[in-house]
Amino acid sequence: MDTQKNKAVAAVCQEYLDKLHADHKGILAALIASADGFHLAAIQSVIGEERLAAMSSSMHALGTEIVNEAKLKKCYDVVIEAAEGKVLMLNVPFADEDLIMTVVANEAMVFGHLLFSCRQTAERISEKLAAMMRGS
């Protein structure tokens, strides 16, 4: 992907992450990363975004591999439940290699609500990016 397109993709991702964060104060960190662990967009992070992007890529890849071996077709999300919050890594369908959206939330966030909002955000990003690619 050329630099111009990269910037446009990053801008779309950032816009939706900002909105997700504005709507949910319990979100401690969020980012969108490429499958090989480079962040395209991020909001405030309790972990550095470069590190979180790389770790998300590893976790998602391992989740994908387990799903493949268990013959469960496709890995959508990886969920980490912690003593004081949760981490979600979701698939964002895009072009020939999906992006990964990672959200870190504190324990105040109800899991179902968090999952619903994150999935909705991921879908909207995917649709907007697809429309953008069709238009170019």
Partner 1 sequence: MGAGKTTAIGAVSEIGVVSTDVKNSDLAQSQKATTTVAMDYGQITLDGGDQLRIYGTPGQERFDFMWKILSRGALGLIILLDNTRPSPLLDLNKFLDGFAPLIAETGAVVGVSNKPGGPSIDAYYEVLAARNMMLPLFEVDVRKKDDVLLLVDALLSVLEIR
The footprint of partner 1 (CB under 8 A) covers: 1, 34-38, 50-51, 54-55, 57-59, 61-62, 64-65, 69, 96-97
Q: Which of 56, 58, 61, 60 is nearest to 45 (CA)?
A: 56
C-alpha to C-alpha distance for 90 and 100, rounded to whole angstroms? 6
Minimal CA–CA distance to 101: which of 84, 121, 81? 121
Question: What is the closest distance, in whole angstroms, from the C-beta atom of residue 60 to partner 1 in the complex?
Answer: 8
Nearest Cα neighbor of 30 from 76, 95, 99 is 99
Residue whose CB is less far from partner 1, 9 or 114:
9
Which of 15/50 has CB closer to partner 1?
A: 50
Least separation, in Å, of the C-beta of 50 and partner 1? 6
Which is nearer to partner 1, 82 or 108 (by Cβ)? 82
- Tell me the β-bridge partners of 81: 86
Structure tokens at 63: 């989740």
Q: Record the tokens describing residue 17, joined without a space.
A: 């992450």
* Least distance to partner 1, CB of residue 32, Å: 13
Identity of the residue, 26 or 63, whose beta carbon is nearer to partner 1 in the bound complex:
63
Q: How far is the CB of 113 from partner 1 (least distance, A)?
A: 30
> Measured between alpha carbons, how far is residue 79 from residues 85, 103, 111 in Å?
11, 10, 10
